[in-house]
Structures are given as C-alpha cells and as structure tokens.
C-alpha cells in the first residue's frame, strides 16, 4: 500500500479560516458574522434614530445647504472668495487655511525641534541648559494659553497701520499684518516658471551624478558651484530673453487700512508661532530619544574616522536615529494639525472656525457639518501618516541594504 | 460635541409612540435647564457670588416660578453663540434665553420656535473716539471684530456691500475675545447689537474713549426659543413673557401684586386666576401670573432693573416701551 504524502491544505481556504475564525474554527466564523451584523445594526439604528429625531423636530437635514449662499466674510482666503459664494466654497476656504497653517507649522516645528533636541545634548553647558529649559517650560503650559499669549504679544508689538514699519516703501508691517506686493504675471511668466523647474531638475540630476561618482568610483565631486549657477543662471537667462516674469501691485494706505498687495494676517503668524514652538518641545524630546538610542560606539567610530562632531551627527547618528524618531514624530505632526482647530480662539478662519462655527450656526445642520469636518481632519491625518509611513519604509529599506 | 451625540443617540423620544412633554420632564427633574450667554451685563451675567442676573435670566426665573413655583430652581447653562442652537436641539436645555435674534431660518430649518420678543434691538458699530469717525458710512476699508455664529456677521457683509465699501472681518468664538482684540487695535470697529455694545463697552479699560455710531444697520428682535414639536411648552414660555407685559400694562408690580389680586375687576380676576382656569389651560396653576410677578416683577420692572434706568447700562426704553407709550411691546390679552 503506497503511502501518499498528505496534501497541504488549500492556501486560500486556510487563510480565510485564519482571518475569520482564528483558532476556534467554524464557531469563530459564526462569531465574526454575528459581530459584523451587530455592528451594522447599531450603525443603522443610529442613522435611523437621528433621522427620525430630526424629522420629529423638523430640523433640516441632508447636504443641500452646501449650495446655499454663505453671506459672511472671511479675513483670509487662499482661493477667491466673496460673500455671495456657497457654503461649499466656505468649506474649501477653511480647509485650505487649515492646511496652510498645518504645513507651515509642521515645517517650523520640525526645524526648531531638531535644533532644540540636538542642542540639549550639546557639550556646551549653557546651550544644553537653555534647550532643556525651553522643553520643560513650553511643553508644560497649556497650548491655548500660549496661543493667546502669542496673539496678544504679536498684536502688542505691532503699530497701527498709519505708524507701520515700512520696508523700502513696498512692504509694511502693522497690527493688520504684513502687507507685501502682489505679483501680477506678465508674458515672461510661463518661460520663467519653466526655467526654474528645469534648474531644479538639473540640480537634482547633478546630485545623483555626484553620489554615483562617490559610491561607484570613490570620487568626491564638488557640485555646489554648478548647482548655484544653474539655479540662478537659468531664470536670469529667461528674464533676459522673455522679459520680466511679473510686475507687482504695491500696497497703499487708504483710509483705515492698506489696500492692494497680499497680506499675512497676525492671526496666522500667532497660530504658527504657538503651534510650532509648542510641538517643537515634544519633537525635541523625540529627537533626543532617537539620538540617545544610537550606540555610543557609533559616535566614537565616527570620531576615530576623523569626522567632526557635526559630520558624525549628520552622517552617522541622525540616519540611524530616524528609525526611532519617525513614528512618534508622526504623532506630533498629527497633533499639530488637530491642534490647529484652536484657531477659533483667536479669530483665524480655519476649517473649524468658519465651517464648523459660522456655517454651522447659520444653517443649524450640526450633524452634517460636524461629520464633514471630522471626516476632513481624519483624512488629513491619514494622509500625513501615510506619507510618514512611506518615508519610514524607505529609511528602513536603505538601512537594511 | 456631546450635544450632537445626544442628538444622534437620543432615540427613545423619537421612536416611542408618545413624545415626552418638556413640562413633565422639567417638573420631574424639579429644575429648569436654561441656556444663557457666557456673561453679557444686563442680559445674562453671573455676579461675584455666582448668582445669574439680567433680563434674559429673568425670563428663565419667571418660567421657573410659573412651572416650579421657585425662581431659584434653575440650572444655567452658559453657551457661546455658535453652540446655543445645538444645545437646545439636543434637549440639553429646556429653553434658550440668550439675546438671540429671531430670523426665519432659525424658526424653521434650525428646528426651533421663537416665543416672543424680549428686546427690540438693532446692530451698531463702536469705534475709538480718536479715529474721528462720525458715521458708519465712513468705515470703508475698516477691519471689523465680531462674534462668530451671530446674525451680525451677515449683516456686516450686507451693509458694506450695499454701500460699496470694502472691509475685513475677524470673527471670534467669544464676544470677550472679540472685544479684547478690538481693544488691542487689531480692529477699527467692534460690531454687535447696540444693547450688547453698550454692555460690552463697560468692560473696556476706558469706556468713555469709545463711541457708538448713530447708524443701526439691522433689525435684531431678541427673544427666547424652544424646540419644535412641543406646543404646550411653546405656549408656556410664550405666555410667561406675555404675562410680564400684560402685568406692566395693567399696572401690576412686584410690590402691589398681593393688593391687586384682591381686586374684583373682571380683567384682573382672569389674570390672577380668581376667575376661570386660564392657568390650568396652560398646564400650570391658576395663580401663575402672581408667581411670575412676585418672582421678577412686570416687564418694565425687569427692564429697568437690568438694562434700564436702575442699572449701570442706563439704556433708554426706546422701542421697548409698551405700545401704549409709543413703543413696540404689545402682548395679546390674557383671556
């Protein structure tokens, strides 16, 4: 009697069984189905109840209101906006303002955080203590207070429009914000833009070439003079050939305020200051944790290779520390984005303020508006963590290589 | 956020066959839950001992007196302008008495009912005297501080557009923050309902350095609100204010109410419940008007005590005089 080797169980079925039932087999599958059904039922009940409640009180529901005229003004908008635009437009105005403050805030928080974090480990006694004090003070005070402090501080430090600081008569700083000339594109704008893009691509090409030369042939190529030449030269050439890319609309003081020009409102500055300095305190500790996690021998090895302290940090320590830094750093980025909704306290027109604030109280459609706003914050956060995960995956890959 | 959760999950009331009556809920709780402002002198503001006072507060006290026979049995819920409607929609409060403007959309799609007008108001502008502005029409290019979630935001937009003027608006979640920012010089003007500006001005470091411009750019009839779907409660809140107005018209005051209750004039007998059962028709007791007047006085007394001659604000009665004296306050008869 021939003995057949037992066939391996079909992979797909096994995997499904594992996913659905775990170790408990079919009864596990039944539990999963029951659980899913319960979830769906609870969800349905919530929606049905909310709908019945709204109908009983004759509260408007649905998303039709998004096409209605908003009828109120917004102090800062990255896209053209007027009072007779719809609530949907208000939604996008608020969303872009939230994104703007988050992106700028994340940038500064990262820069400040890295400096403070590395500074705290500096052999210089004073620098280390100052950075330590920064972290302990900033992270232990509530963010809302810091925000109000910066707002009041920013406003108190700035003069009224008539006494504004003038920068060569083209830009003005006052308690209405920083007013700068608005660029108005001319004929040379297209070629200029292309020249800048080409220059940037060329600079990256040069960098790739230099790295390849270093890794494959062991040759150190100095590229920065060429990079500089390309980055400045190409745009200048395009200006010579096609004329100036843009003219500018100068701000003029008219009545109470400047008219014309583009403006950075003080609310934006205060919010960025508060968010970035606050988050930087946490990032500093994360950076310190990451750097500390790199074995001391690595630093000593760098030293014995003749690298300076700065080079050791940049080339040896930070790349290894990044693996540890990245996941908690993502958390801080997400926190910063969500904390930007405190803007409502100082009158910065972010998504929460104009959409979940003004639009909500004008339409009374709390459920729809809050759901949309929560959905957007969720989406922004998920995209941020996806980007960070991708970056982490790349670092992990290059470390293993 | 919590309020919305209750709106979503408040299931029993919707699917149960009989909707719960607010009157029953208030009685069984032994406490009226009343939404007020976060502190607006004259309308609703806590004093240094934590007692709420103001004309809006007195409406709540009058309701509590009529329903629970005790003007102190109230839980005051301070609400920002943008949270107030959600709080009422979700049954967190029984009545919203928070200097709120009566508009069509709030009366319909927001799902609420205005019960009357406690204060006829209009929107105005406040500006520093030093700016030498005498008319709102000179405000072109001005920066305006306002509280978000109010009709004021839209009125500003309408007014500047109609007069072809440019403006910049900075909107804050609380009136206090808007006022502080105005004081810091970020804004040229502060806008709100005129009564509110008068009240807010008292909070400034130098109230006398600021003027209210003569233009009143909108109609702001302020009144209490209840939820859609409970007509009995709607009637009670509505007639509480009417009772205060009728009391003033009939000359009934906090002082003489006991004396006048003995009167045998048919009109007064109906009001005081010594004849007929009008109070019971509302779901209250016969002496409901006596309770209200004893608790807060008639409308004129309430007005004078909180915002008028006997208060710090000293706002003239103006439109809020009774119709018999050339004002707009006119209540249907109790009969």
B204 and B253 within one domain: no
Contacting residues of B for A73, CB less than 8 Å apart: 153, 156-157, 167-169
Contact B171/A255, CB-based, under 8 Å?
Answer: no
pLDDT average, residue stretch A344-348: 89
Residue A121 lies in a domain: yes
Given B180, B198, B218, the domain boundary residue is B218
Residue B335 lies in a domain: no
B205 and B239 within one domain: no
- Dihedral angle at the C-alpha atoms of A348, A349, A353, A354, nearest 10 degrees? 160
List C-alpha distances in Å: B261 to A147, B69, B265, B273, B278.
58, 17, 10, 9, 15
CATH number of the domain to which B205 belongs: 3.40.190.10
B115 and B9 within one domain: yes
**pLDDT over 80 at A109, yes or no:** yes
CA atoms in the 13 A half-sphere facing the CB of B115: 30
Q: Which residues contact B288 (CB under 8 A, 6 or more apart)?
A: B66, B243, B273, B279, B282
pLDDT digits (tens, 9 = 90+) for B275-322: 889 999 999 999 999 999 999 999 999 999 999 999 999 999 999 999
B174 and B143 within one domain: yes
Interface predicted TM-score of the whole assembly (ipTM), two decimals = 0.79
SS3 call for B53: strand
SS3 call for B48: coil
The predicted pLDDT at position B15 comes to 44
Residue B334 lies in a domain: no
Question: How many domains does chain A contain in total?
Answer: 1
Given B166, B201, B218, the domain boundary residue is B218
How far is Cα B227 from Cα B233, in angstroms, rounded to an integer? Answer: 9
Residue A27 lies in a domain: no
> Closest approach of chain B CAs to the CA of A109, in angstroms?
26
Tell me whether A349 touches chain B (CB under 8 Å).
yes
- Both tokens assigned to A189: 């704008």
pLDDT average, residue stretch A123-128: 93
B230 and B317 within one domain: yes
Beta bridge partners of B169: B144
Contact B111/A60, CB-based, under 8 Å?
Answer: yes
**pLDDT over 50 at B11, yes or no:** no
> Closest approach of chain A CAs to the CA of B60, in angstroms?
22
Given B203, B218, B233, the domain boundary residue is B218
Contact A49/B11, CB-based, under 8 Å?
Answer: yes
Domain span at residue B241 reads 2-120+221-325
CA nearest neighbour of B43 among B60, B18, B28: B60
pLDDT digits (tens, 9 = 90+) for A218-257: 777 788 888 888 888 888 888 888 877 777 777 877 778 7
The predicted pLDDT at position A6 comes to 75
B310 and B172 within one domain: no
Contact A58/B108, CB-based, under 8 Å?
Answer: yes
Residue A329 lies in a domain: yes
**pLDDT over 50 at A115, yes or no:** yes
How far is Cα A77 from Cα A85, in angstroms, rounded to an integer? Answer: 13
Strand segments, DSSP code E, in A93-229 are: 165-167, 171-174, 177-180, 182-185
**pLDDT over 60 at A382, yes or no:** yes
Do β-strands B112-114 and B220-227 pair in parallel, antiparallel, or remain unpaired? antiparallel
Contacting residues of B for A152, CB less than 8 Å apart: 180, 184
Residue A228 lies in a domain: no
Give residue A2's pLDDT band: very low, low, confident or very high (50, 70, 90): low
Is B249 in contact with B243 (CB distance < 8 Å)?
no
Contacting residues of A for B173, CB less than 8 Å apart: 344-345, 353, 357
Report the percentage of chain A scoring pLDDT > 90: 37
B145 and B20 within one domain: no
Mean of pLDDT over chain A:
87
How far is Cα A227 from Cα A205, in angstroms, rounded to an integer? Answer: 10
Contacting residues of A for B174, CB less than 8 Å apart: 345
The predicted pLDDT at position B5 comes to 59
B229 and B116 within one domain: yes
B47 and B132 within one domain: no
Contacting residues of B for A75, CB less than 8 Å apart: 168-171
Beta bridge partners of B167: B142
Contact A362/B148, CB-based, under 8 Å?
Answer: no
B154 and B100 within one domain: no
Tell me whether A74 touches chain B (CB under 8 Å).
yes
CA nearest neighbour of A355 among A120, A90, A157, A89: A90
Question: How many domains does chain B contain in total?
Answer: 2
pLDDT average, residue stretch B11-37: 78
> Closest approach of chain A CAs to the CA of B114, in angstroms?
14
Q: With b meaning 16 or more CB within 10 Å and e meaning fewer, what string describes A351-368? A: bbbbbbbbbbbbbbbbbb
Residue B314 lies in a domain: yes
pTM exceeds cut of 0.95: no
Residue B330 lies in a domain: no
**pLDDT over 60 at B12, yes or no:** no
Give residue A400's pLDDT band: very low, low, confident or very high (50, 70, 90): low
Contacting residues of A for B183, CB less than 8 Å apart: none
By residue count, chain A amounts to 401
SS3 call for A78: coil
Tell me whether A362 touches chain B (CB under 8 Å).
yes
Number of other CB atoms surrounding residue A176 within 10 Å: 24
B87 and B14 within one domain: yes
Q: Which residues contact B246 (CB under 8 A, 6 or more apart)?
A: B271, B289, B331, B333, B334
How far is Cα A398 from Cα A354, in angstroms, rounded to an integer? Answer: 44
Contact B153/A54, CB-based, under 8 Å?
Answer: no
CATH number of the domain to which A378 belongs: 1.10.3720.10
Angle between helices A87-120 and A366-400 (to 10 degrees): 40
Give residue A287's pLDDT band: very low, low, confident or very high (50, 70, 90): very high
SS3 call for A385: helix
Residue A210 lies in a domain: no
Contact A362/B149, CB-based, under 8 Å?
Answer: yes
- From the list A56, A176, A370, which residue is nearest B14 (CB)? A56
B16 and B106 within one domain: yes
- Comparison of pLDDT for A21 and A345, the residue scoring more: A345
The predicted pLDDT at position B14 comes to 43
Q: Please tell me which of A53-57, A191-195, B246-250 the model is most confident about, judged by mean pLDDT.
A: B246-250
Q: Which residues contact B28 (CB under 8 A, 6 or more apart)?
A: none
pLDDT average, residue stretch B178-193: 93
Domain span at residue A316 reads 87-153+270-351+359-400
pLDDT digits (tens, 9 = 90+) for B209-227: 999 999 999 999 999 999 9
For A260, which residue in chain B has the nearest alpha carbon? B141
Contacting residues of A for B104, CB less than 8 Å apart: none
Is B167 in contact with B160 (CB distance < 8 Å)?
yes
Residue B21 lies in a domain: yes
């Amino acid at each position: 009697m021939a003995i057949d080797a037992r066939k391996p169980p079909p992979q797909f079925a096994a995997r499904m069984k594992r996913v659905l039932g775990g170790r408990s087999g079919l009864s596990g599958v039944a539990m999963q189905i029951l659980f899913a059904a319960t979830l769906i039922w609870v969800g349905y009940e919530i929606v049905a109840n909310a709908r019945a409640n709204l109908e009983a009180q004759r509260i408007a529901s649905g998303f039709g209101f998004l096409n209605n005229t908003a009828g109120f003004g917004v102090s800062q908008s990255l896209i053209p906006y007027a009072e007779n635009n719809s609530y949907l437009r208000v939604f996008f105005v608020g969303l872009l303002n939230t994104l703007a403050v988050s992106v700028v805030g994340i940038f500064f928080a990262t820069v400040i955080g890295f400096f403070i974090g590395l500074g705290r480990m500096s052999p210089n006694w004073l620098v280390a203590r100052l950075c330590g004090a920064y972290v302990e003070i900033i992270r232990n005070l509530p963010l809302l207070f810091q925000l109000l402090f910066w707002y009041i501080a920013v406003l108190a430090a700035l003069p009224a429009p008539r006494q504004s600081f003038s920068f060569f008569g083209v830009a003005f700083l006052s308690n209405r914000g920083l007013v700068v000339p608005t660029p108005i594109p001319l004929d040379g704008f297209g070629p200029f833009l292309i020249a800048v893009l080409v220059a940037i691509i060329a600079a990256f090409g040069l960098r790739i070439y230099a790295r390849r030369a270093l890794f494959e042939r062991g040759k150190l190529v100095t590229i920065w003079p060429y990079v500089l030449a390309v980055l400045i030269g190409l745009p200048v050439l395009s200006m010579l050939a096609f004329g100036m890319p843009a003219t500018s609309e100068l701000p003029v003081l008219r009545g109470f305020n400047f008219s014309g020009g583009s403006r950075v409102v003080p609310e934006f500055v205060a919010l960025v200051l508060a968010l970035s300095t606050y988050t930087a305190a946490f990032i500093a500790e994360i950076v310190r944790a990451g750097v500390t996690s790199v074995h001391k021998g690595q630093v000593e090895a760098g030293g014995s290779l003749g690298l300076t302290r700065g080079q050791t940090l940049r080339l040896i320590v930070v790349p290894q520390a990044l693996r540890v830094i990245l996941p908690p750093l993502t958390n801080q980025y997400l926190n910063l984005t969500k904390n930007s909704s405190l803007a409502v306290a100082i009158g910065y027109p972010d998504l929460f303020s104009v959409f979940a604030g003004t639009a909500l109280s004008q339409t009374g459609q709390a459920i729809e508006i809050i759901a949309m706003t929560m959905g957007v914050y969720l989406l922004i956060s998920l995209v941020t963590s996806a980007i960070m995960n991708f970056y982490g995956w790349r670092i992990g890959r290059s470390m293993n290589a | 956020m919590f309020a919305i959760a209750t709106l979503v999950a408040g299931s029993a009331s919707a699917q149960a066959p009989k909707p719960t009556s607010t009157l029953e809920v208030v009685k069984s709780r032994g406490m009226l839950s009343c939404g007020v402002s976060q502190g607006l002198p004259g309308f609703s503001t806590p004093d240094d001992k934590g007692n709420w006072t103001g004309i809006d507060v007195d409406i709540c006290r009058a309701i509590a007196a009529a329903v629970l026979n005790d003007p102190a049995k109230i839980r005051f819920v301070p609400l920002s302008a943008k949270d107030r409607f959600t709080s009422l929609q979700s049954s967190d409060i029984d009545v919203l008495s928070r200097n709120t403007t009566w508009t069509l959309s709030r009366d319909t799609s927001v799902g609420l009912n205005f019960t009357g007008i406690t204060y006829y108001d209009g929107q105005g502008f406040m500006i520093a005297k030093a700016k030498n502005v005498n008319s709102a029409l000179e405000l072109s290019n001005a920066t305006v501080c306002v509280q978000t979630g109010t009709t004021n935001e839209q009125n500003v937009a309408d007014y500047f557009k109609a007069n072809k003027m440019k403006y910049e608006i900075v909107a804050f979640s609380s009136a206090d923050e808007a006022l502080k920012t105005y004081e810091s010089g970020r804004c040229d003007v502060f806008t709100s309902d005129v009564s509110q500006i008068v009240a807010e001005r008292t909070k400034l470091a130098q109230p006398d350095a600021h003027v209210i411009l003569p233009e009143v750019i909108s109609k702001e009839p302020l009144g209490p609100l209840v939820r859609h779907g409970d007509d009995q409660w709607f009637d009670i809140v509505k007639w509480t204010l009417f009772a205060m107005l009728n009391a003033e018209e009939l000359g009934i005051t906090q002082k003489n109410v006991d004396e006048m209750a003995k009167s045998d004039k048919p009109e007064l007998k109906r009001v005081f419940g010594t004849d007929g059962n009008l109070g019971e028709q509302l779901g209250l007791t016969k002496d409901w008007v006596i309770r209200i007047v004893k608790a807060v006085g008639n409308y004129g007394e309430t007005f004078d005590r909180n915002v008028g001659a006997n208060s710090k604000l000293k706002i003239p009665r103006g439109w809020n005089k009774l119709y018999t004296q050339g004002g707009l306050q006119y209540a249907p008869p109790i009969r």
